[in-house]
Amino acid sequence: MGNKETLEILSTIIGWLYFACWSISFYPQVWLNWKRKTVKGLSLDFLLYNVNGYICYSLFNTVLFWSAEVQDEYFARYGPPNPVKLNDIAFALHGLFITCITIAQCFYYDRAGQRNSIYCLIIVSLMWVSMIVLLLVSIFAQKSLSWLWYINYLSYIKLSITFIKYMPQAWMNYKRKSTIGWSIGNILLDFSGGVLSFSQLVLDAVIGENYKIFIGDPVKFGLSVVSIGFDVLFIFQHYLCYRTSNHEDYTRLKNENEKN
């Protein structure tokens, strides 16, 4: 077995490991909501951004992976290999599914009066207007916009949403001076997934001897970097900034549950 084959196997293993870490990272929050029977402390803006981001990311991955026409255009512009792997598709579709489950919990459990902000609703509405308009242009004026351009636009929306979606939660933690209601298990797994996803992208670039992969799939690169950055912030908030208040809030909530 040559070095290239070894690296390809390693890339596949790392890819499915990042899928596992990022996919499992959703479940501590779902479990925490179920255990507490409330979603207080979980930003609804975060969830709305997240579900729309995964819609875009799922479309980008599935089209680039299965459409021969789009693949040919990609290779002509950036060269092989295809940056989208099967684990990328599995992660995107699973992320969309479990985010919908978490949103369903928000309708079933106590929200403590929380609602989506007007800024979030405006941003998401504008996003969908732009997606629909550009989709129509791609369908009826293909010489103006190619399908590769359109799915790249979707990937940039996902990347932008990833940057924006963490801000409401970081602000909520700061405002409440507590991270109770926001699962740290989610963050630790998310951080691990980000490191592994970035590692797979680097390995694929080395295997294909083509570093344009970072340009051809900026969303995978960007997701890793942005996720790692915000995860470090959340870890800092949880273990250093609000460690004392977290203990006090947890004790108070535990006493209230015992009384009930």
d(C-alpha 195, C-alpha 224), whole Å: 7
Q: Which residues contact 49 (CB under 8 A, 6 or more apart)?
A: 120, 123, 124, 161, 164, 165, 168
Tally Cβ neighbours within 10 Å of residue 123: 17
In this prediction the pTM is 0.79
| Terminal-to-terminal C-alpha distance of the chain | 63
DSSP state of 237: I
Tell me the mean pLDDT in the region 85-112. Answer: 91
pLDDT of residue 214: 76
Using CA atoms in the order 50, 55, 56, 61, what is the torsion angle rounded to 10 degrees? 120
What is the token pair recorded at 110?
């106590």
DSSP state of 82: P
Residue 110, helix vs strand vs coil: strand
pLDDT classification of 179: cutoffs 50, 70, 90: confident
d(C-alpha 216, C-alpha 78), whole Å: 6
Tell me the mean pLDDT in the region 13-36. Answer: 88
d(C-alpha 230, C-alpha 41), whole Å: 17
DSSP state of 71: H
For the cut 70, the answer to whether the pLDDT of residue 171 exceeds it is yes
Q: By the 8 A CB rule, do 110 and 36 touch?
A: no
Q: By the 8 A CB rule, do 46 and 114 touch?
A: no
What is the token pair recorded at 153?
């636009």
Tell me the mean pLDDT in the region 114-123. Answer: 91
User: For the chain, what percent of residues have pLDDT higher than 90?
Assistant: 33
Q: By the 8 A CB rule, do 43 and 169 touch?
A: yes
What's the pLDDT tens digit per position in 195-236?
Answer: 998 888 888 888 877 777 777 778 888 888 888 998 999 888
Residue 218, helix vs strand vs coil: helix
